[in-house]
Structure formats: C-alpha cells, structure tokens
Amino acid sequence: MSQNEFLLPATKAWLERPKKLLIGNRWVDSVSGATLPVTDPATLETLCMVQLASSADVDLAVSAARRALDGVWGETTPAERGRLLWRLADLIDEHADVLRQLESLDVGKPVMETYVFDLPLTSDHFRYFAGWATKITGQSIPSSLPGEALCYTRHEPVGVVAAIVPWNFPLAIAAWKLAPALACGNAVILKPSEITPLTALYLGELILEAGFPSGAVGILPGLGAVAGAALVEHAGVDKVSFTGSTRVGREIMQKAGGNFKRVTLELGGKSPNIILPDADISDAIGGAMTAMFFNQGEACVAGSRLYVPKALKADVLSELSTRAAGIVQGASLDPATQMGPLVSQVQLERVLGFIERGVSAGAQLVTGGSRNFGAGNGYFVQPTIFAASDDLELSREEIFGPVLTVLTYEDIDDLVARANDSVYGLGAGIWTSDVKTGIRLAHRLKAGTVWVNGWGMLEASMPWGGYKQSGIGREMGSYALQHYTEVKSVWVNLL
C-alpha cells in the first residue's frame, strides 16, 4: 500500500530531488557521503534518501555561521531581520500544502492535524518574532556612585546556536527555536531528527528564497550520536537549544558544560489531567481524548495520567473506551484518518513493551493494547486505556504513544500530592465548572503549563517549558528572548 493517491505533484517532485546539507547558503554533499533512508511509517515505504552530516560537516557549518555573524548577518539591522522573518512566514503559508504532506508522511501524523496545529503554529512563530526583532531593548540605569556616569545595557546575540529537534513536531519545534534566535541576531544550525528530516530541508529552501544572508541558517540532517554530539561539543557553538528526551537532555547538559555553553532544554513529561467532580463530564472526556491521542500520543505534553473521582470511574472508563474504539486509524495523508502510525519500529516496540509490562504488572487493560494491522502494515497501535495505580511503570514513565492510564481519587489534597509526585512537570489539565476552584488548583500544580477546561492550546506569545526534569528555560513569548541574548552592561564615565 502506498500513499501515492494522495500525493500532490509538487510533493512527489520534491521527494525525488537530492537531499543535501545546507551550509553557507549552498546545498552541499556531506563530507562522509553517508546517507539514510526516510521511511513512511504508515506504509513502510522508503520516501527518499537523505545525506547525513558528519563532524567535519559540523565544522564547516560552524565556520559558515561564524562568518555570517562577523559579516553581513551580523550587520543586518533589526528591522531587516524582522522583514526576513515575516517573508519566511509568508513563504511557509504559500508552501503549506506541500509542507503539510511532508510532515504527515514523515511523522505519520494525520494530515488533518497539520491544518490545525503544525503549520499555523510554525508561520505564526516567525511572524510573532518578526515583530520582536525591533524591540529587543536594554535599559538605562541610574548610577549612585560618586561622580556622573551613563549606565546602560545591551541585549546582544549569544552567537552560534545549535538547534536540535525531535521527530514528533519537527517543523513547529524548529520554528520555536529559529524564530527567536534569528530575531535576536544569532546564527543558527538546525539539526532535525534523523527520523524526520524532510520539513527542515524544505524550510531550508524557503530560508534561501526569503533572502537570509549566507550562514545565518545552516541545516544539518544527521544522527544524534554523530552530528548532534559534534554540535554539542563544538567549541565554536555558543548555545544549544534542545528538544527531545530527558535522557539525551541530561547527556547534553553534561557535555555542553565543557565550554559553558548556554543550554535550554525542552524534555519529556507525564502530565496529569484532572477531572473534578463538578466538571462537565462530556467536555472533560473529549478533552482527555485529545490530550492523550493527539499525534498518536507522541506528544511531550500528552495528558497520559487521567485522574477521575472514584465515584465516576465506571462511567468515565465506559465512555472513554467507546470513544477510543471509534477513532479512525489509517494512512496519514487520508483526510479521514484520525490517528496515524507510530513513527518507527523502535517506537512501536517501546510502546508495545510498556503495554505488555503493564498487563503483567496487573493493570486493568480497558481497551486496545495491540498492534493494529487492520489500519495497515505500518506501525499502528490501537488507542489503549488502562485503569491502574500510581506506583506502576505505566503511571510513572513517559510512554510517548497512545496509552492512557486512568487513576482514581477521593480527596483533593491527596490528589494534588499524587499529581505532583513525578520527576516531570511539563503540563497539567483541570476540568471543573467552578473557575475559582480551577484557578486555585492550577496554582498548586508543579507544571510549566496548566490548562483549565482545555488541553494543548499553544501560541507563539505564551511561554512554554517545564518544571523539574521536563526542562530548563522557556520557549515562546518574550520569555524566549532572554535565552538568545547576552546582557552587556556599558559604563560611560561622564566626568
């Protein structure tokens, strides 16, 4: 089975073209000549071959970025940086049909989700930070020392930024890093995941078309252990902005410490979603389904721990399983598809392993639990729901697949303690008809984002990031800017 019937001619033509590295505004062959196939996880067909960057390519890209900072890009005015970012946003919108198909094919996500999430979030990011380019200001600070001095601060670019992104929202997360970094005047080397490099490469073409000067952006598809590690350890890289697993984040934190690189990390999660007794149950269950099964559950902020009042357990489980059984799984480009395949064989085995161990540990499998060959020969897993206790692996570890754990509670203080009892702290949800109760509870949860009567809303203007082992720093909004600038204090003696 192939997805050819859905492919636009422009998508097909692009897939047939060579996939190289973008260094110094030129598409170049990798020094090692290594390549990797890119697979459609719905059909297991090879979509194309992509060249892989080696550490020698990283050296070249870092040199190009440094020359950009010392040359034309470094001299580009804030207003011109803003215009370039805005132009890029327009180009993304113009090319959205192809970008949507590439993202959907590569990740396995339903193409319909790319209409509401991936593409709008991407171009909005570039527009939002286009506006910031001219507003990155320091302060004038009165001095109390004897004499007279003019004291002010400048927010200068950090320098060469390595942006390392995962496979679940490849284009949107690339935008979360590129847009603020470029608005602040940094040069960026983007390393997409080796599993999903396509939209980053397409974005590279749009970056050239937008007119960014040579070296402002480099794009290096490559293996994490090779290109990713080389960027993290490179003495010419000033900052690493990483989104991915907590395991790799920890490793990056240690390695980047060698030359005290600036590091921001957006990592994993095991987010609690809480239905309070007074909630509109139908809305809450709809929200719980989206929170868990959006993007096949391959979302850092998946609402994978659903807390329900003990008295409502039977009703909630019954309604959840009816809705889960109704989810249409299939080829990602089919507009009827509501849930696609997992991204890879590795991820498939990982998720099925969690399910098997959950059953063995005594959790109650309410629905799903198996690979779904009915949806195709790709990496499809049924939407799966367990009723379990907090101590099981299912309730504690990030599964990163469509596996929901339902937990019950009777007492609110106990609920808060249990919701917060996690090494993670990325997101949380609260469903209630009393907004005051919702707000009070939101303030007690240790999470970077809390949604009351909703789940998953993200916007370029609202900060995003995690407490605890879910990360360090914030992306999005004005908060992101502080991570892409160094503050310089300037003293001018006026006597």
- For residues 176-214, one letter each, b for 16 or more C-beta atoms within 10 angstroms of the residue's C-beta and e for the rest, the string is bbbbbbbbbbbbbbbbbbbbbbbbbbbbbbbbeebebbb
Dist. CA 185–CA 477, nearest whole Å: 17
Q: Build a one-symbol-per-residue string for 346-385: x at contacts with ligand NAD by CB under 6 A, - elsewhere.
A: ----------------------------------------
Across 52-144, the runs of DSSP E, i.e. the strands, are none
Dist. CA 411–CA 398, nearest whole Å: 25
- Residue among 60, 178, 232, 388 that touches ligand NAD (CB under 6 A): 232
Of residues 166 and 358, the one with the C-beta less far from ligand NAD: 166
Report the run of H or E that residue 472 belongs to, with start and end: strand 471-472
- 426 binds ligand NAD per the rule CB under 6 A: yes
Contact yes or no for 484/181 (Cβ under 8 A): yes
φ and ψ of 44, to 5 deg: 70, 15
- Residue among 30, 193, 422, 485 that touches ligand NAD (CB under 6 A): 193
- 118 binds ligand NAD per the rule CB under 6 A: no
- 194 binds ligand NAD per the rule CB under 6 A: yes
Spot the catalytic one: 266, 298, 398, 475.
266
Of residues 86 and 451, the one with the C-beta less far from ligand NAD: 451
- 398 binds ligand NAD per the rule CB under 6 A: yes
- 471 binds ligand NAD per the rule CB under 6 A: yes
Site for ligand NAD in 289-308 (CB under 6 A): 300
Dist. CA 365–CA 355, nearest whole Å: 9
Q: How far is the CB of 167 from ligand NAD (least distance, A)?
A: 4
- 167 binds ligand NAD per the rule CB under 6 A: yes
Report in angstroms the alpha-carbon separations of 96 from 93, 121, 172, 267, 385: 5, 12, 12, 28, 34
Of residues 11 and 122, the one with the C-beta less far from ligand NAD: 122
Spot the catalytic one: 48, 103, 113, 300.
300
Contact yes or no for 424/470 (Cβ under 8 A): yes
User: How many CA atoms are closer than 13 Å to the CA of 358, on its beta-carbon side?
Assistant: 31
* Region of 45-53, 123-131, 220-228, 313-321 interacting with ligand NAD (CB under 6 A): 220-228
- 266 binds ligand NAD per the rule CB under 6 A: yes
- Residue among 64, 248, 256, 274 that touches ligand NAD (CB under 6 A): 248
Dist. CA 219–CA 305, nearest whole Å: 36
**Is residue 266 annotated as part of the catalytic site, yes or no?**
yes
Contact yes or no for 287/429 (Cβ under 8 A): yes
Residues classed as catalytic = 266, 300
Rule CB under 6 A: which residues touch ligand NAD? 164-168, 173, 191, 193-194, 224-225, 228-229, 232, 243-245, 248, 251-252, 266-269, 300, 398, 400, 426, 466, 470-471
